[in-house]
Every structure is written in structure tokens, then in C-alpha cells.
Amino acid sequence: MTDALDRLDLLGLDADLSDDNRLLRDTVRKFADDRLRPNIRDWYEAGTLPARELARDFGELGLLGMHLSGYGCQGSTAAQYGLVCAEVEAVDSGLRSLISVQGSLAMYAIYAYGSEEQKQRWLPRMAAGEAIGCFGLTEADSGSDPGSMRTRAVRDGSDWVLNGSKMWITNGSVADIAVVWARTDDGIRGFLVEPGTAGFGVADVHHKLSLRASVTSSLHFDDVRLPGDAQLPEAAGLRAPLACLSEARFGIVCGVTGAARDALAATLDYPEPGPSSGGPSQAFS
């Protein structure tokens, strides 16, 4: 007999899951049903979510930066990361965004391009959900064309001075560390900017039509002075931030399969109008 979940496995992929992957999927699905689904309506209506609480929950499950190795990360496979993104986004896209921005953008940027000191300082705390990161690439006038960014960093002795702004930044106002990309005389470079740094301002974006259950912010930099070791030393040129975006796309693609599955489940569960229910056939007769 085909159960409800089998109806939603249109490609018949569940049978190919290993026991470990099935256990991971079921664990995350139960967490989503117990912790996320009962609250998502309220978070959506409020246009936000308890990012810090959820980050700690996700960290305890080992989901943050799970596809990275070392520094408190799980070293999971791409398939396992995809399963997690699908299960979380089956509840809401904003929840998956919290996980993928943390792990595949902010953490990956530090993992791939940071110094050993930067990795040791930030990655274990971010993997545990004790620190939240954001990824400052998009700007108001260059959302799909990061090569035209206007944010700029200039050398001043051993320091950098950062000016500009970023827009549509997930986790922006709750982040303990912002990975910010800026033009320099030597091309595009990445920097780690901490909240409270003089000249660094953050404002939340309200009244969104989509990704409502998510913290979305604008970042502003007005002569923000950064020490030399705030730069990501291995990030050179536009290739670095674009590689971070590529890292995140896998989780996004897998996530939308979860959203599609949930939409199908809602459709299958929707009651058909009866002869006296005031359905379309009577309403328009």
C-alpha cells in the first residue's frame, strides 16, 4: 500500500537513500514538524524569525556548514546537505536561507579564503550556531551584476577604509560577522566586518512579499576603518564571491524540491468542493 510520503516521491528517489541518509532526513523532518511548522505562520505574519534561537537549534543538529570539514563542521556529503535543505525548505524558504547563507556563503568564504586565525576564530562558533554570519555582496543597483558594485575599500597605512552599502542581506542585523565584498585598487577583495565597528550601520527591510520569515537587512559603511587582518587573504578578484554563490546554489536547488513537495502535499490534501459546499460550479452557475 502506498503511503502519503510515497505519493510525494515522484522520482522514486527515497528507495536509493542509504540508511544513514534516511536517518538524517527523518531526523530533520521530525525537527521541522515539531519545531518549525507550528510557528511558521506567526513568523511569516511578523515578517521575521528568531534567528539566534534557530541557529543554535540547527547547530546542535550539525546542520550549519555541514558540508565543510574540520573546525567543528561535519564533513557531510553533498547528498546529505541537499536532503537537509529540502526538508527545511519544505516548511519555508526563509528557514533554508538561514542555513545556506550561514554555511554556504559566510562560513564557506572564511573556510575557502580566510587565514587560519580567521578560521579558528569564527568557524567553530558558527558551526555551533553561537555566532551568525551574513554575506554582503548584493547592492541596490547591482543585484544580478556584482561586477558593477560600488562599495570600495582603500588602503590607509596598514588599515583599510570601507565605504558603500549592501542590500537584501540575509541575517544582516543579527550577524556577529559580516563577509563584505568591495572594490580595491587591486580588484575585488573580501573583508570581515564586526558589528559595533565605527561607521558600520544596519537597517532591516520590512514589508517584503517573499522570504518574509527571514531577517533581511541593508548594510551601510561610512569610513569604516578595518585592520589589515580583516581582509580575507586568499580572496582575489570577482572569482572568489562568485565561487561562494556557486557553493550556495546546490543547497538552493535542493531546497526548492522540498518547497515543491510541500506544495504538492497541500494540493493533495485540499478538500474537493461537495455538491452543497458553494464550490466553483455553484458560485458561477
Specify whether 47 is located in the same domain as 109: yes
Q: For residue range 129-176, list pLDDT tens digits in order.
A: 999 999 999 999 877 678 889 999 999 999 999 999 999 999 999 999
Specify whether 171 is located in the same domain as 106: no
Q: For residue range 127-139, list pLDDT tens digits in order.
A: 999 999 999 999 9
DSSP-derived secondary structure letter, 118: H
2 in a domain, yes or no? no
CB atoms within 10 A of CB 85: 29
CB atoms within 10 A of CB 66: 23
CATH at 218: 2.40.110.10
pLDDT the model gives residue 200? 98
Per the structure, the complete domain to which residue 43 belongs is given by: 10-131+241-268
pLDDT the model gives residue 280? 45
Specify whether 37 is located in the same domain as 118: yes
Percent of the chain with pLDDT over 70: 93
- At residue 174's C-alpha, the angle toward residues 168 and 179, to 5°, is 60
Specify whether 127 is located in the same domain as 249: yes
Q: How far is CA 241 from CA 14, 112, 189, 249, in A?
A: 34, 11, 9, 13
Distance between CA atoms of residues 253 and 224, nearest Å: 36
Specify whether 162 is located in the same domain as 231: yes
Task: Count up the domains in the chain and report the number.
Answer: 2
4 in a domain, yes or no? no
Q: In the chain, which residues have pLDDT < 50?
A: 1-2, 279-285
